[in-house]
Amino acid sequence: MILADKIALVTGAGQGIGKASALMLAQEGADVAVVDINGQTSEQTASEVVALGRQGLSLQADVGDVEEIDRMVKQTIDTFGRIDVLVNNAGVTRRSYIMDLTEEDWDRIHRVNAKGVFFCLQRVAREMIPRRQGAIVNIASIAGKGYEGTSNAAYAASKGAVISLTKTAAQQLAQHNINVNAVCPGVTNTALSQANLEVRAQQEGTTVEEIQRRRAEAIPLKRANDPEDIAAMVAFLASAGARNITGQSFNVDGGIIPS
C-alpha cells in the first residue's frame, strides 16, 4: 500500500471524483477525513472507508466559508493528530452560455472553486509546515486549459485559477518540503456532469445518450473518465513515488488536450 498510515483530508468527497479519491486513498492505506456540504453523503463515504479497514471521519462543511474550513481542519487534527494529504476536490458549476452568466453565478462558482481551494490549501499547509512534509492535490479541469466543451466561462476561469495557484503554491511551499500538484480531469461520468448533460440535451432537442455518444467519439481514446481514473492519479501524487513532482497540472482526459 503506497499510503500506509497516512492521514488524508478530501473535500467534496460525498460523491463523484471526491468519493472515488477518498476510497482509493483508503485502499492504499490512508485514514480519511471525508468532507462534504451534504452530511448524509459524507457519512456514507466515511462508512465505506471504514469498511475498507481504515478510519473514516465524516465532516459536513461549506468550503466557501473560511470559518468552516478552520473548523474542519481542527476536527481532523483533533481526531488524527495531523494531515499528510489534502485533496482539494469540492467544486460547483452549471451549464450556461457566456452571455447568460450573472454576477451571482460568478460569485457562487468562484467562492467554492477558487476561494475554497485557496483557503483549504493555506489552512492545511499551515499544519504541514512545522512537520516539513505533505502532499496537496488540487482538482482542476481541462476547462482551465481551454477545453471548448466546458460548461461555462466562469467555471473555466475558476479552474484556470486553480492551475495558477498550484504553480505558485508549489514554488512557495517547496522550501517546507510540501508538494503541490493538480489533476485536470476531462469528460468524467459524475452526477454533476450528468446534470449538465441533461440541460444540454434539452437545449439541443436531443437525448442524453446521443450527447454521450458524440462526446465519447470526440475523445481520442473513445471513452469518458470514470471517477476512479482521476482517483488513481490523485493517489499517485499523494504517494512517495511523486516526491520529486511539484507544481504540475496533469491531464486525465483520454487525450483531448495534448499538453
| Catalytic sites, residue numbers | 155
Phi, psi (degrees; rounded to nearest 5) at 36: -155, 155
Dihedral, CA of residue 46, residue 180, residue 37 and residue 18, to nearest 10:
-50
Residues in Cβ contact with 35 at an 8 Å cutoff, skipping those fewer than 6 apart: 9, 10, 11, 12, 13, 42, 59, 60, 61, 63, 72, 90
- Written as nine digits, the cell of 112 is 467554492
- Contact between residue 247 and residue 171 where contact means Cβ atoms under 8 Å apart: yes
- Contact between residue 3 and residue 30 where contact means Cβ atoms under 8 Å apart: yes
For the chain, the residue count is 259
Strand positions, DSSP E, the chain: 7-10, 31-36, 56-60, 85-88, 134-139, 178-185, 249-252
52: amino acid identity, one letter: L
103, exposed or middle or buried, with CB in 10 Å at 0-12, 13-18, 19+? exposed
Vertex 18: Cα angle to 248 and 93 (nearest 5) = 85
**Quick one: DSSP state of residue 251?**
E
Distance (Å, rounded) from C-alpha 42 to C-alpha 88? 15
